[in-house]
Amino acid sequence: MIKNKNTSIPSVLIIGAGLSGLTLAYYLEKKDISYQLLEARSRIGGRIFTNYQEGFAPLEIGATWLGKKHQALSNLLTELDLEIFEQILGDRAIYEPISTSPPQLVSLPPNNDPSYRIKGGSSFLINTLVEKIGREKISLNQVVTNISSTTNGLSVKTKTDEFQANLVVSTLPPFLLTNTIEFNPILPEAFKKITATTHTWMGESIKVGLRYTTPFWRAKNSSGTIFSSVGPIPEMYDHADAKDQYFAIKGFFNGAYFSVSKEERLEMVLTQLEKYYGPQARNFVSYEEGVWRNEPFTFTPYNQHVLPHQNNGHAIFSDTLMNGKLYIAGAETANQHPGYMEGAVRSAQRVANQIIEHHSSLVS
């Protein structure tokens, strides 16, 4: 049960403690508007998840890169005193266009639009936001199953509890929202029609990363940047930590292999890397992976073919539902850079402004 500091102030339930939910909470906290976060997983961060191992490079299993064009995210990082560092790309790459020819070493043109990573790992941003709002504001292992209208607000049922709030904000990928939560009364057909074909960015992806004690890929006739049409790793990059003290490489793995075992995927990773670097590729310290398609709180299968980014940023997400009591945030709902961390921050800003406006109209 959510308790307001003052019963005339609307209380807010935020569903999802990923970047959108936590950023929204951060803005509401600054305005002293009461809120609580409900998170289905036993961890915070959603599609941001850095794997840490003491004395080794942090491995990004989810979101990794941002660019200078990601203004809202950059401003948030500055406000939180978090730093970024440039992704190492190098001046050459291993390029494997076809299985019948050996891989080649090709020169890369100067990179005028580099990508950046967050110092300390993307989860450092998540953890910093949690520090600002207070861990007690987040209830983990709360899988929301039902949202119903009540006289004064909304009732939110989870698998174990029931919560009441004046306003509710969803930060779920829109497809997941309408395919895993029941609404009473049901949501408008026009909204459901859009969410049915709204792609969840990176929902089908597999990330793989390996830690090593030495960055052997930086040798004279080598590179940690890999582009392969043969696969199963199509892209891979140097993934050293910000101080360039601990070493790793990390990339994407063909998403079609979501149903094979971790051991089988690892063997395929090593076979491909061995082709480029020789037997030293097998001397890894640890292997980590993220198979996002197998994560029920990120992905659930579509009923029809959905294209990457389809309906991301659709205008319908800016409207409230359930008589103005349900707000729709989440990376896919932003009208700029939807699907990305930038979109998550922008969606949180939009909903924070909507709620702050609603709140001032009630107290004035």
Ligand X SMILES: Cc1cc2nc3c(=O)[nH]c(=O)nc-3n(C[C@H](O)[C@H](O)[C@H](O)COP(=O)(O)OP(=O)(O)OC[C@H]3O[C@@H](n4cnc5c(N)ncnc54)[C@H](O)[C@@H]3O)c2cc1C
Residues at the contact surface with ligand X, assessed by CB under 6 A:
15-21, 38-41, 46-48, 62-66, 142-144, 171-173, 176, 180-181, 201-202, 205, 207, 290, 292, 297-298, 330-331, 339-344
CB of 130 to ligand X, least distance (A): 12
**11 vs 142 by CB, closer to ligand X:** 142
**24 vs 277 by CB, closer to ligand X:** 24
Residue given tokens 């990082």 in the structure block: 77
**191 vs 201 by CB, closer to ligand X:** 201
SS3 state of residue 250: strand
Task: With beta carbons less than 8 A apart as the criterion, state whether 30 and 53 touch.
Answer: no
CB of 74 to ligand X, least distance (A): 11
**46 vs 121 by CB, closer to ligand X:** 46
| Count of other CB atoms within 10 angstroms of residue 362 | 11
Residue given tokens 């983990």 in the structure block: 140
Total residues belonging to the chain: 364
Residue given tokens 């063909």 in the structure block: 254
Torsion of CA 108, 113, 119, 125, to 10 degrees: -140
CB of 181 to ligand X, least distance (A): 6
Closest CA to 174 of 146, 152, 149, 194: 194
CB of 68 to ligand X, least distance (A): 13
| Count of other CB atoms within 10 angstroms of residue 180 | 16
**59 vs 176 by CB, closer to ligand X:** 176
CB of 202 to ligand X, least distance (A): 3
CB of 201 to ligand X, least distance (A): 5
CB of 158 to ligand X, least distance (A): 7
In sequence order, the β-bridge partners of residue 211 are 248, 286
Residue given tokens 């020819």 in the structure block: 101
CA distance 68 to 115: 8
**103 vs 333 by CB, closer to ligand X:** 333
Distance of CA 84 to the CA centre of its chain: 17
**56 vs 340 by CB, closer to ligand X:** 340
> Residue 359 is inside which H or E element, if any?
helix 341-363
